[in-house]
């Protein structure tokens, strides 16, 4: 599985996403690791993630002989508005302190001294960056300075917000993680900005946000031609256009399928079909 070299850090081509799995988090994350995933995405946001369950899965995986240096573990700091009442920090503390407290709890949850990637889990407002976002980013940069985290980034951003972050960043973001809609050109504007600044784009909800693409006649024809499923074609498309894809499947078979896409190469015409499959004008092809 060909991955990425991100500023000297090896990063797998696909991450297993652990959102919305609650008490099944440990079993599913462990299943992903033993199936062959070497990258795990989580967040210190109990509202949607069970980060401690991920840590339990990592401990079990290490006990089977999987090496820590073969794993890529990514978590996130989430602002107060994105949390429920199970907070990983003092809500009355300054934002920089909240970031430090959240990260310390993440290390405890995950059982790790060093975490491979830490993302700001979205800006605190819809447009632009608020003072709290800048304060959070500076605190994340400070963690990178200490070596406790190797790479940093941001999720759920617009192109404008990303441009603002790039302009103010002292430590440049290594990743952007966004929900990726085919109907919006697979987040083309943000991906283009990432490419210009050597930022790896992480795409999530590639299947659940694009069910019409899975059903598209042209995509199904490509899948048949290569002996793959439409989902596998989408994951291969994502890799060939430079995305790091996330999958959160609960199915062991789909976990295996999602990893088994490196034995095909889509040609330029096939890439164009998938690229255009979510556009309104392609509806007639479904």
Q: 149-155 and 115-120: which strand pairing?
A: parallel
The domains of the chain, with CATH numbers, are 4-173 (3.20.20.100)
> Most distant CA pair in the chain: distance in Å?
58
Q: For the segment 211-221, what is each residue's pLDDT rounded down to a tens digit?
A: 999 999 999 99
Residue 24: which of 57, 2, 47 has the closest Cα? Answer: 57
% of the chain residues with pLDDT over 70: 98
Token pair for residue 110?
A: 């995950």
Q: H or E segment at 256?
A: helix 252-259
Each residue's pLDDT tens digit in the chain (286 positions)? 579 999 999 999 999 999 999 999 999 999 999 999 999 999 999 999 999 999 999 999 999 999 999 999 999 999 999 999 999 999 999 999 999 999 999 999 999 999 999 999 999 999 999 999 999 999 999 999 999 999 999 999 999 999 999 999 999 999 999 999 999 999 999 999 999 999 999 999 999 999 999 999 999 999 999 999 999 999 999 999 999 999 999 999 999 999 999 999 999 999 999 999 988 766 546 5
User: pTM of this prediction?
Assistant: 0.96
The tokens describing 213, both together, are 């693409």
- Tokens for 60? 């079990």
What burial class does residue 175 get, using C-beta atoms within 10 Å of its C-beta: 0-12 exposed, 13-18 middle, 19+ buried?
buried
Q: Tokens in use for 154?
A: 């941001």
pLDDT in tens, 12-26: 999 999 999 999 999
């Amino acid at each position: 599985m060909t991955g990425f070299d991100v500023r000297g850090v090896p990063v797998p081509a696909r991450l297993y996403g652990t959102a919305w799995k609650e008490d099944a988090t440990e079993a599913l994350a462990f299943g992903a690791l033993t199936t062959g995933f070497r990258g795990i995405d989580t967040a210190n946001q109990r509202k949607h993630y069970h980060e401690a369950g991920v840590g339990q899965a990592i401990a079990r995986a290490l006990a089977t002989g999987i090496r820590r240096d073969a794993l890529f573990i990514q978590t996130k700091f989430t602002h107060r508005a994105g949390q429920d009442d199970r907070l990983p920090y003092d809500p009355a503390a300054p934002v920089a302190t909240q970031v430090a407290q959240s990260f310390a709890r993440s290390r405890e949850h995950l059982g790790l001294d060093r975490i491979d990637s830490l993302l700001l889990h979205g800006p605190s407002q819809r447009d632009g960056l608020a003072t709290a976002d800048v304060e959070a980013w500076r605190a994340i940069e400070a963690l990178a300075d200490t070596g406790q985290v190797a790479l940093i980034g941001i999720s759920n951003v617009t192109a404008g917000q990303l441009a603002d972050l790039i302009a103010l960043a002292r430590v440049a973001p290594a990743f952007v993680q966004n929900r990726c809609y085919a109907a919006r050109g697979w987040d083309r504007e943000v991906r283009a900005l990432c490419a210009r600044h050597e930022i790896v784009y992480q795409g999530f909800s590639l299947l659940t946000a694009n069910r019409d693409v899975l059903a598209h006649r042209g995509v199904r024809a490509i899948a048949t031609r290569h002996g793959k499923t439409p989902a596998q074609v989408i994951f291969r498309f994502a890799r060939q256009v430079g995305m790091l894809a996330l999958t959160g499947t609960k199915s062991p078979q789909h976990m295996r399928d999602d990893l088994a896409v490196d034995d095909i190469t889509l040609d330029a015409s096939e890439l164009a079909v998938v690229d255009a499959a979510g556009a309104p004008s392609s509806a007639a092809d479904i």
